[in-house]
Structure 1
Amino acid sequence: MKRHIPLLVFVISAAIGLSLTYVILDRERAVERREFEILAEEAVDRIRGRTEQNFSLIAATHSFFEADGGAMSRAKFQSFALGLFLKGHLSGMQGIGFAKLMQTGREDEASLALQQNYELERQVWPETDQAHRTPIILLEPLDLRNKAALGFDMFSDETRRKAMLASADTFTVKVSAPVMLVQEITEEKQTGFLAYLPLASEEEAAGEKLNGEESIQGFVYAPFRAGDLHKAALTSPTPVPVLVNTTDVTDEQPEHLYTSEDYEARAAEAENLVTRQIEVGGRIWEISVIEAASKDNAFLYWRTFMLGSISLLFSAALAVSIRSRLRAREANQRLKEMSEKTIQEKDLMLQEMKHRIKNSIARILAIARQTAGASESLEEFNDSFSSRLQAMANAQDLLTRSRWSKADLKALLLQELEQVFGEGAKGIKLAGPAVQLNETGTHALGLVFHELATNAMKYSDVFADDGRFEVIWKVLPAKKGKQLELDWLEETGKVIEAPKNFGFGSRLMEALVAGEMNGKIDRQFTEKGVAIRISVPLV
């Protein structure tokens, strides 16, 4: 019997060691699985965020049409659209355009519009048995792909027609099922989809009715190449090392939308697969995510295999087992806590994103209306509106770099001055301590600095030999926390008279400082220039 004790101890030690090895291996695989799920969630959120960002551009274009009363010439629309495209906002959009709603039989109106806008002799196509038509009469940028689509009657196609009718019912952005865009005129073709937002007619006689009481002039729309959209989402600002397969599962028969290169080859051997569904313009997309590259499991789990080997060689397997089990339990608890925290942060991020997008759209719409009311010409409106949107975009960019936490006051100020004065901004004296602004303060002060810099460019000669231009700020103690006090000083040789009436820019600054930041702005005009003091609480 004693002869068998060493063998018995060895067998028990080996059994304990192998059992422990299997448990730890399982835990490591669970951690790996959760890390991949977090990566997959990021990829899905990027695709969702990219589409929502592009939909906000459609809404902004819709507001531009509304501000112009719907009577949009190609020159005006091209100038507006070019501003969007130069700022890199395409992100999978093939372009943005307008399709006019008209009764069948009035196609000559569309042909005339194409001739006037693009000097293009083209009839509305294809033939249709529908009572209405929606030919594309405006589409930018005018490249070879988009030129091929001009005059196309989207209402003649059932897939596109369903999306337009759904959009007309709710007056919200609606997306079509996957289609092959008429822009796909090259050998490299991609599946696409279209997003529509109806443009209401202020006068009933100027529009048409589809399936509701509201009279509609047409649809602001954007064609998307699904491949370009996904690639932009998954590679910017940094690549996400995953492969995706996206399918539209809204209808009974799912329709393929996009598949990453090498997805099919990797799908059979992929260890992890995450599938999520998102809502995009009334459609349901199902996104399947796998790893972009296989892993060397032997190298990945080398600690586990080493522990198993050591367990077979040493008789202290019981002590190792107890210690390892405790570690496994702690790792499991941390994994559970990390999973719960990740889910909470994801939900909070999604809600915050929706809230920010709604606020941004509301602010853009308000600025568009107010700027339109204060502008004497479309060119003046376009310049003012574009510059104010750029100021908002600059503030948003600073916040995005810090994951929406804080933005540096000096960086924000210098960014707006460089936008207006270019290289001349380096000659402006900027002095003050480091100040971190929250989201509200960043957006508000970004627009305020833009308005002040624009006024200085228009009315002051601050860069003359006898000129003086400086911005100095300090942080003072207040009853509740701290207060930022910023002095904006412009001195010049020429006499500056105080304005008798304040325009929209001044009212906007007052609303931003007093209404959004609970502060105040004081303006003092002297013979040499103007001194402006902004006092706001720091949160």
Structure 2
Amino acid sequence: MLVGLIGLGITAAVHRTESQAIHARFELAADEAVSRVEERVQQHIALLVATAAYFRAVDGRLTRPSFAAFVEGLDLDSRFRGIQGIGYSAILQPGEEEQVRAALREAYGLDRAVWPESTEAVRTAILLLEPMNERNRAALGFDMFSGEDRQEAMWRALQTGEVSATPPVTLVQEITSIKQAGFLVYLPVSEPGGNVPAGFIYAPFRAGDLHEAALQGRPLPVELMTRDINAPAAQQALYATPAYRETGNSVSYRTTREFDIAGRRWEVRVHEGAGFASDLPGIYTLLTGLISFLLATALSAATRWQQQAVANAQALAELSQSASAEKDLLLKEMKHRIKNSIARIQAMARQTAAASNDLMDFSDSFSARLQSMANAQDLLTRSTGSGAELGELIDTELQQIYGSQFDGTEIGGPQVFLDARQTQAMALTIHELATNALKYGAGSQTDGKLAIRWTLSGNGSRMLSLTWDERFPARPGEGEPERRGFGSRLIDANIRGELRGTIERTYHDQGLTIAIGIPLNAENG
């Protein structure tokens, strides 16, 4: 009898521990799904900050050709699915409506007045919206101040000077029979040399496309619905996965997450999907019960099996606690990475704008550096986000810059794994070095040679030593440049500031040698 009671107690403990482990696994999947959506929106909003920097770089003199070239360089369709476009809406002074018609006729060949008719004291008009397609063409000339939801978001943006989002709305771009909920995000810009508002850099979003792009990739065994809880009840819905309502009545696990998007509060409701298979681990509880019943017939065997069952239960409890701790760590890390990514993009936009000679120079330089960050993020994603291997990172960056045009490269060194921060910094550094080599060094001459080698030294806290050696015939009068451009300053900021390392450049008759030293943690090697 005593053995049977002990067996029942163990079975109950195992069942409880398994239930906790299942719930923790569901919470991890839910957190990842919500983080994907939040990170996607924040990355898209960062594009508005970059566009505002471009607006200031050209002193507010936007033209359709230059603006279209800038947006085309961002490659919205393939890299930022969900954002319908990036545009500029001007704040109109009384009597400027006919100037809007003339501007649209000149830029787009479109004879259209400001619409719709409005009695508001303040009027606006969409003057630029790219990339140009039938959906965006339908929005040109639209007075977004004529609608209550858009007007409230625009006022909030003017008052705070920050990005401001609308509640869910139907975009004027929804001209087909298949419609989605949408929202808009505004960032105010001022007249050159003052604080007088000139208008808004803005972006319309299709919520369905945005969520589908965020959730693509590795499938997650959850279904979700997103809504704006600041909006009226009938207007809150943004998106729901196709099977959300079909499976919602028969689930065991569900949760809710909230986060802020440009002044709005979004709520994501998540429950288990068809692929979660939460009932499978219950088999272990059943087996434990059967084993406990059999042990009741043999006292000697019961003692041994009881001890093993207790040990298993403790191990499962530790696994559950570990999973919960890992979930919290992943959440904090994702939030930290989102903030760092936005900060890097903002800094690059400001510095690139300050160092650019003209619009095309700004667009090319900024797009190339964004692509370098994207390549590094791809490596991080393939390695579960923990970091990337140095050799693979160098190969990726050189392939982007040179393609098949330059084969005089030697690469060699031990396997070194970088963490996420080191990966981003080294990706930008290699990108700048390779770009400089292509323009001025080994890559610019047919007989140029490039050798990249690295070594590891020390125990515990290790030191990575990387040598970038370019060999090419010196041109008459060339040597060490008198001043360093933005690319060199960016390299120094990454190595000395971000990575706490050292960098030395040596110019000689045979070319250029750059020595880089970076301290690593013990696990990087």
User: Fold conserved (TM > 0.5)?
Assistant: yes
The residue aligned with 1:263 is 244
Distance 1:418-1:295 versus aligned 2 partners, 3 A rule? closer
Distance 1:35-1:317 versus aligned 2 partners, 3 A rule? farther
Structure 1 residue 519: Cα displacement: 1.2
Q: Equivalent residue of 1:101, what SS?
A: strand
Q: Equivalent residue of 2:79, what SS?
A: coil
Distance 1:228-1:86 versus aligned 2 partners, 3 A rule? closer
The residue aligned with 1:521 is 504
Distance 1:512 1:311 in 2: 61
Structure 1 residue 439: Cα displacement: 4.6
Deviates more, 1:29-38 or 1:245-254: 245-254
Deviations 1:142-195 (A, max 9, x none): 121111111111110000111111111111111110101111111111111111
Identify the match of residue 139 of structure 1 among 117, 129, 135: 129
The residue aligned with 2:177 is 187
Structure 1 residue 360: Cα displacement: 1.1
Within a 5 Å distance, the mapping from 1:169-188 to structure 2 comes to 169-188=159-178
2:393 equivalent to 1:409? no
The residue aligned with 1:352 is 336
The residue aligned with 1:371 is 355
The residue aligned with 1:482 is 463
Distance 1:313 1:439 in 2: 52
The residue aligned with 1:246 is 226
Distance 1:132-1:29 versus aligned 2 partners, 3 A rule? same
The residue aligned with 1:222 is 203
Distance 1:344-1:194 versus aligned 2 partners, 3 A rule? same
Deviations 1:87-135 (A, max 9, x none): 8332311111111111354222222221122111111111112111221
The residue aligned with 1:196 is 186
Distance 1:107-1:158 versus aligned 2 partners, 3 A rule? same
Structure 1 residue 520: Cα displacement: 2.5
Identify the match of residue 102 of structure 1 among 92, 105, 112: 92
The residue aligned with 1:341 is 325
Distance 1:262 1:507 in 2: 51
The residue aligned with 1:537 is 518
Deviations 1:319-363 (A, max 9, x none): 389547725751563255225413530342144224413431343
> How many residues align structurally?
513
Q: Equivalent residue of 2:397, what SS?
A: helix
Distance 1:475-1:21 versus aligned 2 partners, 3 A rule? closer
2:482 equivalent to 1:501? yes
Cα root mean square deviation, aligned: 3.1
Match for 2:230: what amino acid? Answer: T
Distance 1:306 1:394 in 2: 48
Contact 1:406 1:438 in 2 (8 A): yes
Deviations 1:489-512 (A, max 9, x none): 231486562265334134444444
The residue aligned with 1:3 is none
Structure 1 residue 220: Cα displacement: 0.9
Q: Equivalent residue of 1:290, what SS?
A: strand
Deviates more, 1:240-249 or 1:418-427: 418-427
Distance 1:233 1:333 in 2: 33
Distance 1:14 1:155 in 2: 74
Q: Equivalent residue of 2:200, what SS?
A: strand
Contact 1:371 1:384 in 2 (8 A): no
Specify which structure has the bigger relative contact order, considering alpha-carbon pairs within 8 angstroms and separated by 6 or more residues: 2
Match for 2:57: what amino acid? Answer: A
Structure 1 ranges of 4+ moved more than 6 A: 12-16, 294-298
2:273 equivalent to 1:292? yes
The residue aligned with 2:440 is 459
Contact 1:513 1:521 in 2 (8 A): no
Deviations 1:412-453 (A, max 9, x none): 333332222220244322233334445555444433433333
Contact 1:472 1:488 in 2 (8 A): yes
Which protein shows a greater Rg? 1
Identify the match of residue 79 of structure 1 among 60, 63, 69: 69
Distance 1:448-1:20 versus aligned 2 partners, 3 A rule? closer
Distance 1:378 1:40 in 2: 43
The residue aligned with 1:430 is 411
Distance 1:478-1:369 versus aligned 2 partners, 3 A rule? farther
Match for 2:436: what amino acid? Answer: N
Contact 1:416 1:450 in 2 (8 A): yes
Distance 1:501-1:230 versus aligned 2 partners, 3 A rule? same
Contact 1:247 1:285 in 2 (8 A): yes
Q: Equivalent residue of 1:430, what SS?
A: strand
Distance 1:134-1:326 versus aligned 2 partners, 3 A rule? same
Contact 1:418 1:425 in 2 (8 A): no
Match for 1:334: what amino acid? Answer: E
Deviates more, 1:129-138 or 1:400-409: 400-409
Distance 2:287 2:420 in 1: 50
Deviates more, 1:317-326 or 1:64-73: 317-326
Contact 1:103 1:131 in 2 (8 A): no
Unpaired segments of 5 or more residues in structure 1? Answer: 1-8, 205-213
Contact 2:257 2:269 in 1 (8 A): yes
TM-score, structure 2 length as denominator? 0.87
Distance 1:511 1:31 in 2: 44
Unpaired segments of 5 or more residues in structure 2? Answer: 521-525
